[in-house]
Amino acid sequence: MRAEGSCARSVRAAALHVAREAVALLPEPARRAVRLRRRDAASTMVSLAELDAVLEQAAACFARGEDAGRAFLADVRVAPPPWPRDPFSAQYRTWAFDLYARISGRGSYTVAHESSPFDFDAALRRPFPYATGSSVVVGDDLVARGSIVRALGLAAPARVVELGPGWGNLTADLVATGHEVTAVDVDEGFCRLVAERVPCARVVCADMLSFAASHEGRSYDAAVFFESFHHCADHVALLELLHGLVRRDGVVVFGAEPVDVLAYPWGPRLDGLSLWSSRRYGWLELGFDERYFVSVLRRTGWAVRRVGGPTSSSTVYVAREAR
């Protein structure tokens, strides 16, 4: 019986290897279609009408622990409604934010929706991701932050603006590395937390677009986004404004951003965890198809390279002004 089982496993492994090799030989559009079909086939597809009931089940799983909640949501997806052809058109933007309104249940998006409820004293002692108690979540976060610091490639001291620092973990890393850091966040609670946790950082309470639009002069060696760029309500405008924020020979780094193979160019992400975040908290959880992400960077005057990491969340995109 053991020999038969071993033989069966060998046959399955050989078949899987052949299937992967066959997919690799397909042209890119066909490979993308195969990846999308595989992902959807492995997911529980739900409608927006069913979303609240499904998220109630997720809440019960989170009550047992962070890993249990995330495991449940990992299998949940909503199929996107038909989208306009031109991702840069006003019609497409309307489609994206109408979809956000339906998912979040909060109507029109405003930056006021980017508020994160948390216990301040508890967060001082044990901020996210440590408060989750999940070695997977903590480990992925540490790897992602390390990938960003490495990709920056800046000798200290350098002037760095971090847009959307959240809990301030990367802010602390950058300051400890010896950089002069300006941390910009729209959430007053996060601003207070970062100021307390990282007293050497300059903290500015403002949304990304307003800060970039009001800034005068190319005074930063680097602009950094860590799980934050996808919360911007107008990512095209922000990419254009970054030219006035970063020196000509400076760098813009995007870390742990949801850039993936999507069926649509950009818009609200429809995986379980993103649906949970938008419905429960009202956050804007945009996602970007990688081809679109690269094209919009080039369209706004940036040359970009992708730096892969050991985990999906540790992939970094490094942009410099196109010459």
Residues 17 and 49 reside in one and the same domain: no
Q: Please report, rounded to a whole number, the percentage of residues in the chain having pLDDT higher than 70.
A: 87
Which residues, including other chains, have CB under 8 Å from residue 160's CB and lie 6 or more apart? 152, 154, 174, 179, 180, 181, 182, 220, 221, 222, 223, 224
Q: Are residues 72 and 218 in the same domain?
A: no
Q: By residue range, what is the domain housing residue 20? A: 1-40
Residues 24 and 137 grouped into a single domain: no
Whether 117 is in a domain gets the answer yes
Same domain, 176 and 232: yes
Do residues 229 and 136 share a domain?
A: yes
pLDDT per residue over 38-64, tens digit each? Answer: 666 557 899 999 999 999 999 999 999
Could you tell me if 68 and 132 lie in one domain?
Answer: no
**pTM as predicted:** 0.89
Strands (E), the chain: 44-46, 76-78, 159-163, 180-185, 202-205, 220-226, 246-255, 259-260, 266-268, 286-289, 302-307, 316-321
Whether residue 242 is predicted with pLDDT greater than 90 in this model: the reply is yes
Within a domain: 310: yes
Do 165 and 60 sit in the same domain of this protein?
A: no
d(CA 26, CA 261): 16
pLDDT in tens, 75-118: 999 999 999 999 999 999 999 999 999 999 999 999 999 999 99
- What distance in Å separates the CA atoms of residue 255 and residue 98, rounded to the nearest whole number? 27
Residues 35 and 184 in one domain: no
**Claim to verify: residue 29 and residue 153 sit in the same structural domain:** no
34 within domain boundaries: yes
Domains held by the chain: number: 3
Asked whether residue 75 falls in the same domain as residue 149, the answer is no
